[in-house]
Structure formats: C-alpha cells, structure tokens
Amino acid sequence: DLKERLEGIPRVRDVDINSSSFFGRDKSSTVTIEPNRAALARFGITAREFGLAAAREMRSQSGAIRLEIGDEELPVTVQVEGASDRSLEELRDALVQTPSGTPVRLSTLATVSEAEGLSAISREDQQYVRFVAYEFRGPNKLAQRTHDAFMTSISVPAGYSVADAGFGRFEADESEKGLWLVFAIGIALVVLSVAIVFDSVWGAMMVFLSLPIALGGVMAAFWLFDAAFTREAAVGVILVIGLAVNQSILVVDAALERRRRLEARGLDVRLDRGMVLRAALDRSGMVVLVTLTSLASLIPLAVGVKTTSLFGAIALATAGGTVAGTLGAMLIVPAMLVGRKRVRAPAPLPASLPREHLGVG
C-alpha cells in the first residue's frame, strides 16, 4: 500500500520497498516458484512430488533424507548435476517426471521468476524493520513538504509504526537558481545580439515578443500530456529560446530588408499589410523547414521514453515551444509589424547660410 501511494505522487520515481540503511549492501536476488495447481492436477502431480522435483533442480536444503553411513546418520540431498550454478532459464527448462513417465517442463507446472529482497532480516529492539526509499524529482523545498505531508497521512494497523529514517533529509541546493540565471542570461544575450545585428531596437523588441508565445507552447504541451514540469524540462526551455527566436528573426529580417529598400529610394518607410504579408510568405518555407528539422532531431529523444525521464522532458518542452514559436512567427509577429515606421529627427540648418535664406530682413 505504501508503494502504491508513493507511486501515485506525480514527482516520485523509483520506489524501493526493499531498501536498506547501508545503501543496498543488504539486497539480494531470490528465485521464486509459484506452482500452478490446475497444471499439477492435469498431469497428476502432487504438491509434495513437485516440491521434491524442484528441489533437485536447484541449490536447496529441502528434500534431504537421513541415511545411516557406517555408525553415523547423515542428511543426504540428491540433486541434478549442475544445480548449484544453474541459470533462471535453465531452471525453467528443467524436466519433471509425471506419474505416467512423461517429462514436463518446470515452467509448464509453475511460474518461475526472480525477485529482489533482503539478504538478512534487520531488527531493532526485537522488532522487524523495513526501509522504503524513493526519488523525488523537483525542488528540495517541495520535496520536503511532500515528504512531511505523506508521513503525516500514513495510518498503520496496531503493532506497526512508521518513522522517518533520518538519513534521507533534503538539503537545500542552488541548482534551480542556476537554471533561472542561465535562462535570464540567454534572453539578454539574444536581445542584445539581435539589436546589434539589426541596428534596430524595434526589431529586437519584435523578436523578444515571440518568446512568451513559445513559453506558452511549453506550458500547453505539459498540460496536454499531464506531465510535471521538472528541472529537466527547464533545460528544454533554454533550448526553446534559441529556436523560437530564430524563427522570428527570419520574418523580422525580411520586413526590415523591405523597409531598407524603401529608405534607399527615399520613399515612405511605413510597413503596410501587403509588404509584411509578402515578407512572411517569403520566409515561410525557411521557417517551416527549420521547425521540421528541429522536431526531427527530437525523435531519438522522445521515442520509447516517458515524459518524466530526462530526455522525455527535454523533448516535450522543446517540441511544444518550437511549434508555438512557429505559429507565433507566422501569424502574430507579422501582425505586430504592420504600420511600423522609423522616426527620424529633422536635419539641423547649416550655420553658414546667408541671412536672406533665414528669412531675416
């Protein structure tokens, strides 16, 4: 019940109900055999006969008989040759004789599997102790609050108790702050680079306005897939900054190029709807090509993985932001470009003009 409740928490992963206080040194693997009573009855084999046959096929102390050798009575166990180092597959393929003499595979009569358990029983004050461990993927403060709330909600039957082991406390780290710092630096560098290349603060602001659209796509992707936003997903957001800005740069650059042509001919530099539409159509093929190649590069990260994994979260965040950034660059950014005009200050009058040119009588 504790394992199922822990696995129901969105950010909890890798619940281990066989953990130990010595970092896994007490763990061991055991072979479990679950007889199929219907199959035993069909072949006419009793449970005792099946137990003796299974004991002969593996390293076990069960089924020992006592024989008198000389003047001493000793327990003797009869086993098949190689039973001490037999693999799990070989055990499944072992043959069991039926009362009619027909051999039947052991896997036909029972389910043979491997289970992880503890090699030794841990006790404190003559009480059996079991450790449960899990991994929480998220901020440490949220992890501590979730852990405390879970411990408070636990109710156990009489004779049982649940306590915090104490060696898994969540210590504060600065990794989350580092991600936000990288995110802020990335945005600042993008805006400065665009402003320098375009020689236009207005162009840089148009490119910057595409980022909220891309971030909205990231949030929509995690909402649609009902996935938790983790620090792994924050890495994908950092990638989205460059991809979304790249698409907007293509459209804004086409519009600025058309405005520069008008300036060179001494015409009005206001961008009308037709000019912006032609600029967007001119770069639409390149924008779509960049989007498709970006999404194709995410396929190796997304195939066969969950959204809660490292690569799955990065792929989901990047895909959602890239698709939204493409729609924003093709539909919203052109609408913001319409009617923009560069305002120029009037040129000063030369100081050497004659007085009659200045209108002085």
Give the pLDDT confidence of 2-22 residue by residue, as tens digits.
Answer: 777 777 777 777 777 766 654
**What is 175-337's CATH superfamily?**
Multidrug efflux transporter AcrB transmembrane domain (1.20.1640.10)
Checking if the pLDDT of 36 tops 70, the result is: yes
Cβ atoms of 40 and 162 closer than 8 Å: no
Mean pLDDT of the chain: 74
Residue in the block written with tokens 């501590």: 144
- Per CATH, which fold does 2-65+78-153 belong to? 3.30.2090
Mean pLDDT of 194-219: 80
List pLDDT tens digits, range 128-183. Answer: 777 777 777 766 777 777 877 887 888 777 777 777 766 555 555 555 666 777 77
179/48 Cα distance (integer angstroms): 63
93/115 Cα distance (integer angstroms): 19
Q: Which residue has the higher pLDDT, 124 or 16?
A: 16
Give the confidence band of 48 by pLDDT, cuts at 50, 70, 90. Answer: confident
56/97 Cα distance (integer angstroms): 12
List pLDDT tens digits, range 281-297. Answer: 888 888 888 888 888 88
Checking if the pLDDT of 118 tops 70, the result is: no
114/111 Cα distance (integer angstroms): 10
User: How many residues in the chain?
Assistant: 361
300/302 Cα distance (integer angstroms): 6
For the chain, the structural domain boundaries read 2-65+78-153, 175-337
Give the confidence band of 225 by pLDDT, cuts at 50, 70, 90. Answer: confident
Q: Where are the alpha helices (DSSP H) in 265-349?
A: 273-302, 310-327, 333-337
